[in-house]
Structure 1
Amino acid sequence: MSLTRRQTATALLALPLALTATPALADGGGGGGRPRPRTLHIAGDSTAAEKTADAAPETGWGMALPFFLAHRLRVANHAVNGRSSKSFIDEGRLTALLDGVRPDDLVLVQFGHNDEKTDDPARGTDPYTTYQEYLRQYVKGARERGARPVLITSVERRRFAADGTARPTHGAYPAAMRALAAQEGVPLIDVQALSLARWQQLGPDGTLPCFLWLEPGESPNYPAGEEDNTHFRPPGAVDVARMTARALLDAGVLAHRDLRRLDDPVPGDWITWDRTA
């Protein structure tokens, strides 16, 4: 059956309305006209966590990660100071994280610093038993929600031998995570090895700007100065975020279109600290 001119014109006028409704349907019918952005959820400790203004210039690498991601990706940083793979779960933080996870998201898991504190029953784990058992809960929770878990070995501390060789500090925990990743078929980002190589490249003096080493009076938050070989200042956080982003690409977890600035400078003054606790 052929259409009259008036019927054809009416159909054409209605067409844009049908097309503009499509993104809302892709968004689950919730409106807004845009699909939900893919999210990288970070479960971790103080080396990754967001810092408030009263801790500046201390910086977690999770604060710098967005600078290396395409705008359509977002970061939900759930990392908290002092937590281990065990205490993060026991405090209900994994449950809260998973409540926000959607299919195709990533769940980045980096614990180890505080799992090593085996004299603290609230945090300590054994590398090849309880540590792996807790990590499996993150893997299982992510997969149940259609997300992809990614295990990340602990970033190295700043520790050098007398001859200037960068020394590992995490004992058997990185190897235990590597073994678990292989057993479970989970992508592994070996930040422990990558950061150890980076600190070796920079050397004892060259790593000082990366870590929270401050002269007395250099920062109002640390009037007496600070000598911290675990936590970062902005350059160190940027370095670790960059190596993490590049490793996510190399592992096939993210694509080139998901990333930016991998080889470009990211100034430390791009970091901002939230003033709320």
Structure 2
Amino acid sequence: MTPTRRQVVAAVAGVPLTIAAAPAAPARADGRRTRTLFIAGDSTAAQKYADAAPETGWGMAFPFFLGKALRVDNHAVNGRSSKSFVDEGRLDAVWDRIRPGDVLLVQFGHNDAKSADPTRYTEPWSTYQEHLRRYVEGARARGAVPVLATSVERRRFDAQGSAVPTHGDYPAAMRAVATATGTALLDIQARSIARWQELGPEGTKAYFNWTSTEQDNTHFNPPGAIAVARMVTEELLRARVLAPRDVRRLDDEIPESWITWPQAG
């Protein structure tokens, strides 16, 4: 079979080729179809591998809070913006697999702000919003449910110990798209900065990838990833994208040992 142009673009970008359409999700014994939650996002959500441990994307902890009728297909990749994710064919890879009733969870903003890099930069009130609409409209055209999630906050504090927002106008621009398009919004930026304020400059170190050799104020370790995944699940429940029967363990302590880092394939 001769690959299509889209498949060639995806292969160059490092996306596994999907020549045949993905099979329909199986039905459970109780007759409920297994729904898939797709994540389109950046490094804060992405799957990490053994060479990056203990760095952990919140998407790795997300399944711990979901019921058996839901599964996660995490397409988030380090360094991607709403623009580069599309340009590299990664959104096409999602479209190959998504099915009616599935959910597309979109979290971009960290890398959209990198104005020195034209392959990733989007302007918050124009091209960023245009790209977000593309995700929303594409999901709906396929019978799936789009969900927009504002970017989780970095660990940054001022001299008085107050948590400082770092994403400029991007969260507000996403909120505006959600309102204009009637799309469910998970305000993870607001939830996370409030949590970092509660924890303070020292307490937040326990959630971020701080090691003896690295002081990373953007990416998470297992406790941080678990905390953010819990926020995402709670927001999906609040927005009524998920029903109470779809979630579990929201009040439970999740062992760090549940996080594993596979070898890169």
Query: How high is the TM-score relative to the length of structure 1?
Result: 0.85
Q: Which residue does the alignment assign to 1:6?
A: none
- Matches of 1:31 and 1:123 in 2, distance apart? 39
Match of 1:124 among 117, 121, 126: 121
Q: What root-mean-square deviation, in Å, do the aligned CA atoms of Structure 1 and Structure 2 show? A: 1.7
Residue-by-residue CA offset, 1:113-147 (whole Å, 9 max, x unaligned): 00000110000000000000011110011001100
Moved over 6 A (4+): 27-34
Report how far residue 238 of structure 1 moved.
0.4
1:133 to 103, 111, 130: 130
Q: Which residue of 2 aligns with 1:251?
A: 239
Deviation at 1:267, TM superposition (A): 1.3
Equivalent residue number for residue 242 of structure 1: 230
State the distance in 2 between where 1:138 and 1:86 align.
11
Q: Look up the equivalent residue of 1:246 and give its one-letter code.
A: E
**Secondary structure at the residue paired with 1:102?**
coil
Distance in 2 between the 1:253 and 1:262 partners?
Answer: 16
CA–CA distance in 2 between the matches of 1:176 and 1:236? 26
State the shift of 1:35 in Å: 5.8
In the other structure, the counterpart of 1:263 is 251
Equivalent residue letter for 1:86: K
Counterpart-to-counterpart distance in 2, 1:158 and 1:136: 29
Structure with the greater alpha carbon radius of gyration: 1
Alignment of 1:96-111 (within 5 A): 96-111=93-108
Opposite residue 200 of structure 1, the aligned amino acid is Q
Taking the aligned partners of 1:255 and 1:102, their CA distance within structure 2 comes to 19
| Cα pair distance change 1:139/1:65, threshold 3 Å | same
AA matched with 1:252: R
Q: Deviations over 1:57-89 (max 9, x none)?
A: 000000000000001200000000000000000
| Residue of structure 2 aligned with 1:197, choices 180, 194, 211 | 194
- Say which SS state the counterpart of residue 125 (structure 2) adopts: helix
> Of 43, 46, 62, which residue of structure 2 is paired with 1:46?
43
Q: Distance in 2 between matches of 1:185 and 1:199?
A: 29
Corresponding residue for residue 174 of structure 1? 171
> Structure 1's 48 and 70: CA in aligned 2 closer, same or farther, altered over 3 A?
same
Change (3 A) 1:144 1:75: same
- Correspondence for 1:63 among 60, 63, 67: 60
Residue 146 (structure 2) pairs with residue 149 (structure 1): yes
* Deviation (angstroms), 1:276: 2.0
- 5+ residue gaps in structure 2? 1-22
Structure 1 264/135 Cα, relative in aligned 2: closer, same or farther at 3 Å? Answer: same
Structure 1 unpaired stretches of 5+: 1-26, 216-224
State the identity %: 65
Residues 22-74 of structure 1, C-alpha deviation per residue, up to 9 Å, x if partnerless? xxxxx979999776410000000000000010000000000000000001200
Letter in 1 for 2:202: D
- Are residues 212 and 148 of structure 1, via their aligned partners in 2, closer, same or farther at CA, if it must alter by over 3 Å? same
Cα 1:173–1:210 shift into 2, 3 Å: same
Q: How many residues align?
A: 242
Deviations, residues 9-33 of structure 1 (Å, cap 9, x unaligned)? xxxxxxxxxxxxxxxxxx9799997
